[in-house]
Amino acid sequence: MVSTSTIDTSQWKNMYKNQLSAIVAQNQVILQNIVKDKFDVHSAPETMNTVPCAKEKEAQLQY
């Protein structure tokens, strides 16, 4: 690890931002694979229709 005295704040921010971006990207791939395994769209299209998306939930909350 780099000594804190030799690195400035913006470099730390960029390092953490890059690490977080990589973690988020990995998690998206993992979640997509889980969803593909659990909800095979071709074998069970009705399963996908029963799960309301976030926008539909927001619309329901507004009324």
Residue 3 lies in a domain: no
pLDDT one-digit tens code per residue, 48-57: 555 555 556 5
Residue 2 lies in a domain: no
Residue 45 lies in a domain: yes
Whether this model's pTM surpasses 0.75:
no
**15, 22 Cβ separation under 8 angstroms:** no
**47, 39 Cβ separation under 8 angstroms:** yes
Residue 37 lies in a domain: yes
**48, 39 Cβ separation under 8 angstroms:** yes
pLDDT one-digit tens code per residue, 12-37: 899 999 999 999 999 999 988 888 87
Counting the structural domains of the chain, the total is 1
Residue 40 lies in a domain: yes
Residue 1 lies in a domain: no
Domain assignment of residue 14, given as a range: 8-62
